[in-house]
Amino acid sequence: MNIAGIGPQVFIIIGLALLLFGPKKMVAYAYQAGKILGQLRRMYDQTMAQVEAEMKETGLKDIADELKKNTRDIATEAQNYINTAMQDTPPAQPVIAEPATTAALTTTTAVLAAEPSLHPDDAPPATPTAPNEPTERTEGYDAWLPK
């Protein structure tokens, strides 16, 4: 929800400022804030001009410009490489399982018949234990228990 490029957060701030200061004082405060922002912008521009002038005197300006150019070139080259790699790579095809053949089913049945330990029916019955029944004691771990 953006109206004229202003998001909901800005509308909330403006609404709170209207409630706290009123419409007359809010205009005065906005004027003062604009003046302060203008001064900050001018100070920033002067500082950057001075830094660039000193960099130009020492020869660092040329190095910095060359470094920026090389960085942009490397980033462009990497992006081009990624784009070509993405275009050259075919999309992944889903793996579709083939239906089982009768030969595979008879082989599986023969293996299960030959190996009785694989049958779940041949498993030994589980011995039920009471929930609070102590399990087998081992020497060393039950030193604190009465014997």
pLDDT tens digits, 85-94: 777 766 666 6
- Percent of the chain clearing pLDDT 90 (strictly above): 11
**Phi, psi (5° rounding) for residue 44?**
-65, -45
Q: Express each pLDDT in 3-52 by its tens digit.
A: 777 788 888 888 888 888 888 888 888 899 899 999 999 999 999 899 88
pTM of this structure: 0.36
- Cα radius of gyration rounded to whole Å, the chain: 39
CA atoms within 13 A on the CB side of 7: 1
Q: Cα–Cα distance between 60 and 62 in angstroms, integer?
A: 5
What per-residue confidence (pLDDT) applies to 45?
93
Using 50, 70 and 90 to split pLDDT, how confident is the model at 2? Answer: confident
- Closest C-alpha to 13, from 34, 30, 28: 30
Which residues, other chains included, contact 109 with Cβ-Cβ below 8 Å and sequence gap of 6+? none
| CA dist 81 → 20, 72, 109 (Å) | 55, 14, 52
